[in-house]
Structure 1
Amino acid sequence: MKKVSVVILNWNGAGMLRNYLPSVIRYSQGEDVEVCVADNGSTDHSCEILEKEFPSVRLICLDRNYGFAEGYNKALAQVDAKYVVLLNSDVEVTEGWLDTLTDYMEKHPEVVACQPKLLGWRDRERFEYAGASGGFIDYYGYPFCRGRIFDVVEKDRHQYDTVIPVFWATGAALYIRLDKYREVGGLDGRFFAHMEEIDLCWRLNSRGYRLVCIPQSVVYHVGGATLKKENPRKTFLNFRNNLLMLYKNLPDEDLKPVMRMRALLDFIASMVYVAKLDFRNAKAVWNARKEFMTLREQFKPDRKENLQRTVVSDIPQRYRFSILWQSKIKGRKFFSTLPG
């Protein structure tokens, strides 16, 4: 058994592997550490490049593209390690990034998952959208980060360098105990991609486990390498999966009020797209709600199991306010200005 397995999921990303894998290999050394690339049925030359140019990397070949969530489930079924890192293929790591995370996890057995600080690869002085310095959600299921609220991404002035509990750790660089990953069922493969790590972290939180951000470990993330922002497919997956996540995990007393408000807020979101003449994204929001209604019955057993296994229903890192109200109406654009 390895102590740490760094697992990169790849799909037709030969160029990204050449650009970013060298830093992962260089700064992820050790007898008890392995770097793996799980290929999600690529049709480019990814596997050939890995075999010829990166012989030290363990290659896990999947027979087709299972998406982010199920692809990782398939890959981690072939991994034997105490800890695993789910690392995006467009992440450049830095010296000491892995040792810092491992040392913390070894000293804090009550913590089951963590993330490093994510900075932008293009603008290295700013936090990166997908995870920044730790993730949270509001009462209605909208995710935000310490360092990023909606499209406002702060400069990193070391204002968020303390280790703190988080609601979710980014899937771009998620460090987790493999036994706990398996215990709670891993990522939900039905999500395919987007929101799957927040759903996983909700299950961990509700079962009494702790997750933290460790900003002393730093990585640089390109972001948006698979689906660009405002892509209708991404919009569809984000809205649909967010609703599925809420349905799976919300306490009984919150389910109806949250879902009623989300119906209104999603309608408003679609109208904003219409006002911009962006009819494809407006349609994606409507289709996401339609598919959620179709799939909801299928997720009833998951909801029942999650509620039965819940030991912490009022998770502190799930804020009781609306981040839309705080940010768009009250003008609180930075995490440090939020109430509480």
Structure 2
Amino acid sequence: MSDVDIVLIGRNEAQRLPAALAAAKRSGARLVYVDSGSSDGSPEIAEDMGAEVVRLDMSRPFTAARARNTGAAAFHDPAPYLQFVDADCVLAPGWIETAKDFLAQHQRHALVTGWAREEQPDHSVFNRLIDWEWRAPAGPIDACSGNLMVRRSTFDAVGGFDGGFIASEEEDLCARLASDGWALERLPEEMVTHDAGMTRLSEWWRRTERAGHGLAQLGAKHPGRRHTERLRAWLYGLALPVATLVLAVLWWPLVILPLAIYGRSWLSGYRTLRNTGTRPADARAFATLFTLAKAPVLIGMLRFYLRSMLRREMRLIEYRKDRA
């Protein structure tokens, strides 16, 4: 039996799924594919490729966290290590062995992740931004994406992912592991290639709104975590726009004051990006998106607060019609 079990999760990823499944199978690890209500034949594709398919119970709102937990529970004689992969990602050759060896040699570490890269960064500015975000520094971390390897014993000990999260469930898992004294690491190794397939501003906006929902949900469970980011969303997403409108009514030349704050924020982001080697055109575009992002982040936060107040279920905010 392999030392690693792979849980691959997806929804409407028929085009990408064969490559994701093939790469996972080449690793030699056992594999379970969990499908969250696909309408594009994804489960049948996985079955035709010989994968064990688990269909998520859709009587409840689906989340990536629920899908991952369901996949993990499908292994009745679990391996020591558990690798999670999203179906829009393809595992890099050698990653499974690299990650497993690291955890075997570092007994204080519960979780390890690596670098991702976008398959088509030149397809849109949004893809390039995501590609830039993937290249976070290697070393000790306090959060990561859903593509990760974790010790099965520690994963079970903390209760797996919180199925109520629609986003940031990975960071919640990291927070709980860290609070139990475990170390987390990002290796300077390629882990997956990713296909964001994002070409429209509306898709980026919805994806950022979902991130804001996760940010608020994370704050409700871990109040001290990413507190500054939530404050920035309130400042740039609400306080400054309101101030701009009020000053425009009182005496329009005063509008230059809040606009100058936005400009300073943009310039700071641009300089940081240029100092890290980002080419000028991308630095300008990324800095603009960083500044604009505070609005959808705040909308996502407000959506979480409203759902919580009304005791509504946390339903996924989908940024593309054909994907989760």
Name the TM-score class by shorter chain: 0.5 to 0.7
Query: Structure 1 pair 195/95, CA: closer, same or farther in 2 (3 Å)?
Result: same
**Pair 1:283–1:81, CA change in 2 (3 A):** same
Q: Is contact 1:6–1:87 with CA below 8 Å preserved after alignment?
A: yes
Query: Whose strand proportion is higher, 1 or 2?
Result: 1
User: What's 1:87 paired with?
Assistant: 85
Matched, 1:183 2:185: no
Establish whether residue 22 from structure 1 lines up as the match of residue 22 from structure 2.
yes
Q: Mark the runs of 5 or more structure 2 residues left unpaired by the alignment.
A: 123-127, 246-258, 260-287, 312-324
Distance 1:9 1:247, change over 3 A: same
CA distances 1:199-238 after superposition (whole Å, capped 9, x unpaired): 2212222221110011234432223579987444323321
Task: Give the aligned partner of residue 60 of structure 1.
Answer: 54
Instruction: Flag as ranges the 4+ runs of structure 1 deviating above 4 A.
Output: 224-232, 257-262, 268-271, 281-287, 295-299
2:118 is aligned to 120
Return the offset for 1:115.
0.7
Q: Which residue of 2 aligns with 1:169?
A: 144
- 2:260 matched to 1:264? no
- Aligned residue number for residue 202 of structure 1: 175
RMSD: 3.7
Q: Give aligned-pair identity as a percent.
A: 25
- SS of match in other structure, 1:190: coil
Distance in 2 between residues matched to 1:190 and 1:130, nearest whole Å: 29
Larger Rg: 2
Q: Is the 8 A contact 1:113 1:169 kept in 2?
A: no
Preserved CA contact (<8 Å) 1:131 1:169 = no
Alpha-carbon separation, structure 2, partners of 1:128 and 1:284 = 16
Structure 1 residues 67-110: Cα deviation after superposition (integer angstroms, max 9, x where no partner): 21212122222222221111111222232111111111111111
Q: Which runs of no fewer than 5 residues in structure 1 stay unpaired?
A: 134-144, 147-162, 300-340
Looking at structure 2, the residues matched to 285 and 225 of structure 1 have their Cα atoms a distance apart, in angstroms, of: 18
Q: Does 1:216 align with 2:189?
A: yes
Aligned length: 256
> How many Å apart are 1:179 and its aligned residue?
2.4
The corresponding residue for 1:319 is none
Whole-angstrom distance in 1 between the partners of 2:25 and 2:241:
44
Q: Which residue of 2 aligns with 1:98?
A: 96
Structure 1 residues 227, 14: closer, same or farther in 2, change over 3 A? farther
Match of 1:330 in 2: none
Moved more, 289-298 or 199-208: 289-298
Letter in 1 for 2:192: V
- Residue 19 of structure 1 aligns with an amino acid whose one-letter code is A
Corresponding position of 2:211: 238
Q: Deviations over 1:255-297 (max 9, x none)?
A: 7x886555324426978xx999xxxx88855543333334557
* Contact 2:7-2:32 at 8 Å conserved across structures: yes
SS at structure 2 position matched to 1:247: helix
SS at match of 1:117: strand
1:289 equivalent in structure 2: 301
**Structure 1's 18 and 292: CA in aligned 2 closer, same or farther, altered over 3 A?**
closer
How far apart are residue 4 of structure 1 and its match?
A: 0.7
Distance apart, 1:10 and its partner CA: 1.6
Partner of 2:45: 49
SS at match of 2:3: strand
State TM-score, norm by structure 2.
0.66
Is the alpha carbon distance of 1:22 and 1:131 closer, same or farther for their aligned partners in structure 2, counting shifts above 3 Å? Answer: farther
2:238–2:295 CA contact under 8 A, matched in 1: no
| 1:182 Cα deviation after fit | 2.6
